[in-house]
Amino acid sequence: MNQEFIDALSEIEKEKGISKEIVFEALESALVSSYRKNYGTSENVIVNMDRETGEIKLFASKNIVEKVEDPQLEVSLEEVKKINPNYEIGDVYNQEIHPKNFGRIAAQTAKQVVIQRIKDAERDIVFDEYVEREKEIITGLVQRKSYNNVYVDLGTTEAILPYSEQISGESYNHGDRYKMLILSVEKSTKGPQIVLSRSHPDLVKRLFELEIPEVSEGIVEIYSISREAGSRTKIAVFSRDPEVDPLGACVGYKGQRVNAIVDEIDNEKIDIVIYEKEIDKFIANSLSPSKVEKVFVNEAEKSALAIVPDYQLSLAIGKEGQNVRLAAKLTGWKIDIKSNLQFEEYLEERNMTEEELIEEYENSVKESTEEVTEDINMPEEEQALGEDNITNEDSDNLEDANEESSVEENEI
């Protein structure tokens, strides 16, 4: 190695942000491996590189013993006493060695190590850049398709849009430009693996933040989103400023703002509804565009019965139950829908009035509250016993209830 090599490392350190010390340490380790590989020795080799001049020195590290059994690893005390009388048995003697043609091997190794370190540094820079941008929007250029996956050029690296994260029916041709959500960033042996999404609900959320100033400024907030990509999205919003209409802010003049978002997600329908703290009002809003006349809520079971005009039953339920399904996901409540006629028949079958139905729901809330109070007051031993008595079937049912928004659909 020479001064030119040291100067080159200094330039790399400035341009790529790679520490010279890291390169020196990696090079020393690589030279040890290269020496053993090329000279077929079992010696304990130490490589030292001068940080100022680049001079390389090799040493065979040997244990000092009385009687040598393995010359590759040991040296006699008598021999090293000639060099330094202070040596004793058990010490380590580093004997400098000068293998033939090692300069050529060192130069090749140095080149490989530096190239690899530059690649690693560039990968780390790319990883650091994108890992901080997870769940953000990025614009990418479609490069190619392979096994239904789409590979996207982000400028500094390539990312993948898996089939599961694509919008159904959307075509991705070479050169097409799309806005996508950075779903995840992971390290791999080939560099950072960036996974994109076009179907995630957060893509719609970020598009609203991008297109609507009131949302990006925090004046209008997004409460929840439910989405079936490529078909329909429901989004619940509310305003922190009483003078700002959240619906008007999101729709924009003649629908310009929301239409810009719709165009970006391949003409997917978007229902914007107002979030209300009163759950019955929120559920009624969530079933837009249908009109809801009454909502009966059972807080104990987080379920609701929504009553709609007879002629709007199919609209409230939606094609294949989509509207009520998205409303259930948006609110987090189980929603059953009945027309006025069905509701009257329902009350007749149960031989009760609306008031009695409301009272029944209210009593279920009281019973649920009392059960919770009893559990709190229960001795710890009994609480533990109760937990142990949960069966596998019960556990599965609980998981299913948490993972899915249940929707009861009516046949017209």
The second-level CATH assignment, the architecture, of 134-199 is Beta Barrel (2.40)
pLDDT at position 94 is 85
- pLDDT, position 41: 66
Look up the CATH number of domain 200-269.
3.30.300.20
Q: How confident is the model at residue 1 (pLDDT cuts 50, 70, 90)?
A: low
Mean pLDDT highest for which of 111-115, 130-134, 369-373? 130-134
The answer to whether 226 and 233 have CB atoms below 8 angstroms apart is: yes
- What are the angstrom distances between the C-alpha of 344 and each of 116, 351, 361? 76, 10, 17
**Residue 278: half-sphere exposure toward Cβ, Cα within 13 Å:** 6
Q: Is the pLDDT of residue 276 over 80?
A: yes
Please determine, for residue 396, whether its predicted confidence score (pLDDT) is greater than 50.
no
Amino acid letter for position 108: Q
pLDDT at 123: 83
Report the pLDDT averaged over residues 270-295.
95
pLDDT for position 251: 94
What is the rounded average pLDDT of the residues 193-201? 95
**Average pLDDT across the chain, whole number:** 83
Q: What is the pLDDT of residues 38-91, one digit of tens each?
A: 766 667 888 888 877 777 788 888 888 888 888 888 888 888 888 888 888 888
Do the first three CATH levels of 200-269 and 276-412 match, i.e. the same topology?
A: yes
Q: CA-to-CA distance for 381 and 268, rounded, in angstroms?
A: 54
Structure-block tokens of residue 82: 């000639």
Distance between CA atoms of 361 and 401, rounded to whole angstroms? 20
Q: What is the pLDDT of residue 370?
A: 53
Whether the per-residue pLDDT at 12 is higher than 90: the answer is no
Residue percentage of the chain with pLDDT more than 70: 86
Kindly tell me if the per-residue pLDDT of 284 is higher than 60.
Answer: yes
When pLDDT is averaged across residues 276-287 and rounded to a whole number, the result is 95
Please state which of the four CATH numbers 3.30.1480.10, 3.10.180.10, 3.30.70.260, 2.40.50.140 is assigned to the domain occupying 3-129. 3.30.1480.10
Model's pTM, two decimal places? Answer: 0.67
Rg (CA), the chain: 35
* Confidence label for 337 from pLDDT (cuts 50, 70 and 90): very high
Tokens of 300: 């104990």
**268 contacts 231 by C-beta, under 8 angstroms:** yes
Answer whether 257's CB lies under 8 Å from 213's CB.
no
| Residue 197: band (very low, low, confident or very high) from pLDDT cuts 50, 70, 90 | very high
Residue 338: predicted pLDDT: 95
Nearest CA to 158 among 135, 121, 188?
188
Query: How, if at all, do strands 56-65 and 92-97 pair?
Result: antiparallel
pLDDT of residue 373: 47
Average pLDDT in the 206-233 region? 95
Domain assignments of the chain as residue spans, ordered by start? 3-129, 134-199, 200-269, 276-412
24-38, 138-152, 307-321: segment of lowest average pLDDT: 24-38
Q: Return the CATH fold of 276-412.
A: GMP Synthetase; Chain A, domain 3 (3.30.300)
In the chain, the percentage of residues whose pLDDT exceeds 90 is: 48
CA distance to 323, 332, 337, per residue, from 232 (Å): 9, 17, 20
Q: Is 399 exposed, middle or buried (0-12, 13-18, 19+ CB in 10 A)?
A: exposed
Q: Which of 28, 56, 15, 6 lies closest to 113, judged by CA?
A: 28
Using CB atoms within 10 Å of the CB of residue 79, give its burial: 0 to 12 exposed, 13 to 18 middle, 19+ buried.
middle
In 293-354, beta strands by DSSP E? 294-298, 303-308, 334-339
Q: Per the structure block, which two tokens stand in for 345?
A: 């028949």
Specify the pLDDT at position 149: 94
Query: Of residues 227 and 108, which shows the higher confidence score?
Result: 227
The residues, ordered by sequence, that sit 6+ positions from 250 with a Cβ below 8 Å of its Cβ are 208, 212, 214, 215, 220, 235, 237, 257, 258, 272
Q: Which residue has the tokens 């929120």?
A: 282
Give the H or E element holding residue 374: helix 354-377
Q: What are phi and psi of 42, to 5 degrees?
A: -105, 10
User: Which of residues 220 and 5 earns the better pLDDT score?
Assistant: 220
